[in-house]
Amino acid sequence: MTETRTYDRSDFQSDQEVRWCPGCGDYTVLASVQNFLAGIGVAREKHVFISGIGCAARFPYYMNTYGIHSIHGRAPAIASGVATANPDLTVWVVTGDGDALSIGGNHLIHALRRNINIKILLFNNQIYGLTKGQYSPTSEEGKRTKTSPMGSIDHPFNPISLALGAEATFVARTIDMDRTHTTQILEAAYHHEGAAFVEIYQNCNVFNDKAFIQLTGREERDVNRIYLEAGKPVVFGPDHHQGVIVGPDGARVVNVQDVGLDSIHVHDPSHESPATAFALSRLAHGPVGPTPIGVFRSVHRPTYGDMLQHQLVDAQAAKGPGDLRSLVRSAGTWTVD
């Protein structure tokens, strides 16, 4: 049984000076995570934070938990080993759009498809921040940066669509500045059994400031944020005058008055097929115009760790306890003089 006690945020703050650029969205995410962990009352020793390379990768230094600052793109692979060998721990991966979707893309999709019990927080600022402002796998087409002075000609990833395509069992999106919503998403991810993927729109105020202004600006956010809530019609905007319908051609935004409330899609993240969640993820390819946030998909599937443990038990029952010495000598040995 997991030990619970009363914590506050300071219990999860390390003695390291937090060193991000002043105004960076990472500060807000760090505070949200620390407050959330304090609130659930689970011992710090039960959490492990693993990161790769990038601004977000400093995260483990600032958490008074176990942590590993690993290598570029390989955080999901290392986390897979930690989680499989230590099923009593909650393993968090903190990564960025460059770290996870460029060099680390292969590790990410396989961790998701295997349903390894890890919680992946992908900080998406649509830029390479640590290396000073190159375009990333989520930068919009036409983005002018140091490595794309005439505008990027790359078609960007949609991280939510990518995760759903990898058959992830939990896929969600939130925004750094919305602490209440971020906490709700963290709680849902924490309680999910299996791989949980959370995209966090995170502002880089130095190299890509206001990239998410249409979702964070005081005037724009009420018009463009589409909150996905289980069991509720997907409506948004002032007075909920707009909504989303899902049909054979995908999802699209309509005026509720034109089609009637009964025609509006009622969100069900627990649906076994990811098709509708994928359609919702395509409403916006980036944070421009009406954009869904919330839990897109949350379904149950046996975790990799559980299935592996069952195989080990079955193997031991069939063949008895393992004998490493016999295994090493089974193919013959020789002596070198």
- The per-residue pLDDT for 2 is 53
**Residue 231 lies inside a defined structural domain of this protein:** no
Q: Given pLDDT bands bounded at 50, 70 and 90, which one contains residue 5? A: confident
Indicate whether 312 pLDDT > 90. Answer: no
Average pLDDT score over residue span 290-315:
94
Which CATH number belongs to the domain containing residue 13 in this structure?
A: 3.40.50.970
When pLDDT is cut at 50, 70 and 90, the band that residue 4 belongs to is low
- Classify residue 68 as exposed, middle or buried by CB count within 10 Å of its CB (0-12, 13-18, 19+): middle
Residue 147 — pLDDT band, cuts 50, 70, 90?
very high
What's the mean per-residue pLDDT of the chain?
95
- Over residues 15-64, the pLDDT tens digits come to 999 999 999 999 999 999 999 999 999 999 999 999 999 999 999 999 99
Are 55 and 126 in contact, with CB atoms under 8 Å apart? no
- Taking alpha carbons only, the member of 152, 92, 147 closest to residue 122 is 92
pLDDT for 328 beyond 90: no
Tokens of 313: 């038990």
What is the number of other CB atoms lying within 10 angstroms of the CB of residue 337?
2
User: Residue 238 falls within a domain, yes or no?
Assistant: no
pTM here is 0.93
Residue 176 belongs to a domain? yes
Cβ 277 vs Cβ 269: under 8 Å: yes
Strands 291-298 and 225-228, sheet pairing? parallel
Identify the domain containing residue 194 by its residue range: 9-211+302-306
> What total number of domains does the chain contain?
1
Query: For residue 226, what are the β-bridge partners?
Result: 292
Percentage of the residues of the chain whose pLDDT score is greater than 90: 90
35: number of Cβ within 10 Å: 17
Decide if 95 is inside a domain: yes
Per DSSP, what are the bridge partners of residue 148? 145
Q: Helix, strand, coil % (nearest 5) of the chain?
A: 35, 20, 40
Strands 235-236 and 66-69: unpaired
Task: Give the DSSP letter string of 166-229.
Answer: TT-SEEEEEETT-HHHHHHHHHHHHH-SS-EEEEEE--BTTTBTTTTHHHHSTTTHHHHEEEE-
On whether residue 278 sits in a domain, the answer given is no
**159-177 tens-digit pLDDT:** 999 999 999 999 999 999 9
Element holding 76 (H helix, E strand): helix 75-85
Q: Is residue 200, in this structure, part of any structural domain at all?
A: yes
Sign of the CA dihedral with 288 first, then 54, 188, and 81 last: positive
Has residue 320 been placed in a domain?
Answer: no
Q: Give the type of residue at 251.
A: A
Question: What sign results for the dihedral spanned by CA atoms 49, 106, 124, 195?
Answer: negative
Instruction: Please check the confidence at residue 180 and state whether its pLDDT lies above 80.
Output: yes
Q: Alpha-carbon distance 285 to 167, whole Å?
A: 19
Evaluate if residue 3 carries a pLDDT over 70: no
How far apart are the C-alpha atoms of 176 and 230, rounded to whole Å?
A: 22
Given pLDDT bands bounded at 50, 70 and 90, which one contains residue 1?
very low
Is residue 241 one of the residues assigned to a domain?
no
> Which structure tokens are listed for 72?
């570029």
